[in-house]
Amino acid sequence: MKHFLQENDFSPEEIKDIFTHAFAYKANRAQRPTSDLAGQTWGMLFHKKSTRTRVSFEVGIRELGGNPLILDQSSTQIGRGESVEDTVKVLSRFLDGLVIRTHGHEIIEEFAQLGSIPVVNALTDFLHPCQIFADCMTILEKTGSSQDPYSLAGKKLTFYGDTQCNMANSWILAGALFGMNICLAGPPSFAPAEQILQYLKKFDLPATFEHQTDPVVAAGDADVLYTDVWVSMGCEEEAEERKRVMSPYQVTDSILTSAKPDALFMHCMPTHPGEEVSESVLASPQAILFDQAENRLHIQKAILRQLTQS
């Protein structure tokens, strides 16, 4: 039984295979190879609202010949207090796999531990591995290097704003896996949390990141500038304070020009123009947000295929 709960759940060879198939799926999308999930039904359990994640997974499962079944907390008994154990044991009798977008990372770990079907992390408060794989695919695509994510070694990516969020954690993990230099530019109080540090130790992964409080210094020699919303789902009560302390870390034209001349700007969306990023940066040719969004479809198809091969 194989799951994809975090970026290092696959071996290096499996990761390379995922990226190879993702690029092939994109290049040959019109062919729609419907044999990879033929006849399978995959549940999609969403405890959080979604646009890109839901649509990309639903379309991807269909394009691979499978049947997506949308579930949300309000329309299942888990929303009325049924235990995770009972829920996943029942779903394991019906489904071939389960895609989950939820809050605590321990929830998705419990589903994987107690069930008997593959589980995919479509986002938790701790990690967002599908987004990271799609982003790495996009960087490879735009830099014209190769289709091998390990060729990203040595590239510098600077992440601005909430440097304790799931995207920051996932970039820390991606940096450790692929040899990238990850710079986290955020307020001192948002230095990486103990949870991700302990995670690196648990899996004997190198800490290839730094935390920088000077936003201009952080941009120096960066190949990619990246940001996310300052107020994630579940943090709305902290909105005003977060906006205040993170305002120096808005990605502006001056920040972009402090990076390499051909630096890319990335954002996992949705964006809040004028908060974490200026409208002019979003409109610049260096912004590749929609390429990132599209590549969610292709990389997730390859992830699902890999899980069915295991």
Whole-number Å distance between alpha carbons of 228 and 270: 8
Count CB atoms within 10 A of the CB of residue 51.
10
Whole-number Å distance between alpha carbons of 255 and 33: 43
Catalytic entry in 3, 21, 101, 267: 101
Catalytic entry in 47, 228, 250, 298: 228
Question: Which residue(s) pair with 226 in the sheet?
Answer: 159, 266
Catalytic entry in 21, 130, 268, 305: 268
Q: At what angle do helices 12-27 and 289-309 cross, to 10 degrees?
A: 120
101 is catalytic: yes
Backbone phi and psi for residue 46, each to the nearest 5 degrees, phi listed first = -115, 115
Whole-number Å distance between alpha carbons of 270 and 292: 12
131 is catalytic: yes
136 is catalytic: no
Catalytic entry in 296, 300, 305, 306: 296
Catalytic entry in 6, 131, 250, 292: 131
**CA–CA distances in Å: residue 99 to residues 54, 181, 194, 199:** 10, 30, 27, 22
Q: Encode 68-93: b = buried (16+ Cβ within 10 Å), e = exposed.
A: bbebbeeeeebeeeeebeebbeebbe
Catalytic entry in 54, 128, 242, 298: 128
296 is catalytic: yes
Catalytic residues: 101, 128, 131, 228, 268, 296
